[in-house]
């Protein structure tokens, strides 16, 4: 006859039948780390020498009073930061920096989506087209920018010659695109987009090639047209590739100096500057290492903040 009272399980028997796994010794992890140190040590030294030490020196110099000849005259407190914020062109330059990054990254992603979709199709000569897309990536950024710069020259530039031949320019001498701050800055955006396309296109192309054909076939059987399939099926699958490409482009464009220095470096004033070129001018023209360091710290903080917000919102490594 079954007893109606509650029966307690024999926990001792369960514990005996499932012996506890012995805890790993606390020192084992340290021994593993020390064993791996010869392999990861060079990378750690490289990171310290290339990233940590320069960043620490930059922060240190931003609070020092350094003469134009490079002599450290002692602490300066926040005077260097106050000089940056009191600079009359700082806010317009900050706004221009935001425009520079947003426009270049946004247009690059849109064009790269179209290019990746084209290169993912089978057509005669596809391999040659794919190789042609790589050329701006393989070439030097300064060399590519110089090609654009001399093509925009008013008297012998090929772009002005072309515009004159088709009737868009009345003067055969053309227009000095690189002699005006606004047009030079606009063409700098064009060059930045041009050199950013190869990496972004191939990153998105790799994401396109990972989209399962079965998913597209299922969407087609459900009656979804090409546009709807692309928006609701392909784009969600491309989110990791788009996120990574966008993040790397944001960092690269923020820190881009060669394009703007080549296209706008000869112009007087600050009407075509971003924060990066302003830092360069503080060092080269004014020889103010302390103020340039303070501006670099502000710039570094802005980049870190934007990257942190981007990662938090987009979550590039999250599974689809």
Which has more confidence, 217 or 302?
302
Q: pLDDT, tens digit, for every residue of 259-309?
A: 999 998 888 888 889 999 999 888 887 778 889 999 999 998 988 888 888
> Within 13 A of 267's CA, how many CA atoms are on the CB side?
22
Task: Please give the tally of structural domains in the chain.
Answer: 1
Does residue 85 contact residue 278 with C-beta atoms inside 8 Å?
no
Q: Print the domain residue range for 241.
A: 91-314
Q: What is the mean pLDDT of residues 241-256?
A: 89
Q: What is the rounded CA–CA span in Å between residue 34 and residue 10?
A: 45
Is 229 part of any domain? Answer: yes
Please tell me the distance from the alpha carbon of residue 66 to that of residue 283, in angstroms, as a whole number.
12
pLDDT tens-digit readout, 51-90: 899 889 999 999 999 888 788 888 888 999 999 999 888 9
How would residue 108 be classed by pLDDT, with cut points 50, 70 and 90? very high
Q: Is residue 233 part of a domain?
A: yes
Residue-level pLDDT at 160: 81
- Domain assignment present for residue 75? The answer is no
- pLDDT tier at 172 (50, 70, 90 boundaries)? low
Please state which of the ranges 2-11, 28-37, 253-262 shows the lowest mean pLDDT.
2-11
pTM for the full predicted model: 0.79
Task: Tell me if 4 is assigned to some domain.
Answer: no
Q: Running DSSP on this structure, what letter comes out for residue 125?
A: T
Q: Would you say residue 13 lies in a domain?
A: no
Q: How many Cα neighbours within 13 Å face the side chain of 183?
A: 11
Residue 81 lies in a domain: no
Tokens of 296: 């670099």
User: Is 2 contained in some domain?
Assistant: no
Identify the CATH number of the domain in which residue 250 sits: 1.10.3720.10
At 73 the three-state DSSP class reads strand
Average pLDDT of the chain? 82
Please state, for a pLDDT cut of 90, what percent of the chain lies above it.
26
In a domain, 255, yes or no: yes
The mean per-residue pLDDT over the stretch 109-137 comes to 85
């Amino acid at each position: 006859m079954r007893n109606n009272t509650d029966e307690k399980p024999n926990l001792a028997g369960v514990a005996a039948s499932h012996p506890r796994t012995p805890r790993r010794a606390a020192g084992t992890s340290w021994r593993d780390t020390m064993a791996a140190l010869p392999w990861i040590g060079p990378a750690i030294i490289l990171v310290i020498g290339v990233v940590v030490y320069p960043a620490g020196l930059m922060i240190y110099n931003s609070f020092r009073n350094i003469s134009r000849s490079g002599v450290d005259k002692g602490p300066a407190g926040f005077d260097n930061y106050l000089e940056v914020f009191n600079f009359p062109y700082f806010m317009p330059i900050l706004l221009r920096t935001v425009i520079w990054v947003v426009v270049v990254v946004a247009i690059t992603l849109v064009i790269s989506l179209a290019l990746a979709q084209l290169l993912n199709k089978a057509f005669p000569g596809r391999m040659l087209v794919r190789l042609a897309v790589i050329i701006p990536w393989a070439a030097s950024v300064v060399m590519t920018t110089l090609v654009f710069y001399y093509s925009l020259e008013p008297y012998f530039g090929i772009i002005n010659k072309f515009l004159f031949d088709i009737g868009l320019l009345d003067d055969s001498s053309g227009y000095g695109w690189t002699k005006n701050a606004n047009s030079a800055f606009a063409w700098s955006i064009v060059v930045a987009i041009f050199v950013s396309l190869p990496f972004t296109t191939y990153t998105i192309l790799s994401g396109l090639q990972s989209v399962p054909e079965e998913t597209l076939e299922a969407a087609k059987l459900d009656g979804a047209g090409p546009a709807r399939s692309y928006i609701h099926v392909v784009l969600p699958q491309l989110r990791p590739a788009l996120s990574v490409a966008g993040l790397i482009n944001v960092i690269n464009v923020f820190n881009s100096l060669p394009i703007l220095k080549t296209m706008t470096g000869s112009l007087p004033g600050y009407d075509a500057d971003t924060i990066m070129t302003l830092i360069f001018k503080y060092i080269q023209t004014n020889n103010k290492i302390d103020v340039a360091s303070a501006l670099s710290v502000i710039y570094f903080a802005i980049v870190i903040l934007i990257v942190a917000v981007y990662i938090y919102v987009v979550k590039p490594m999250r599974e689809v």
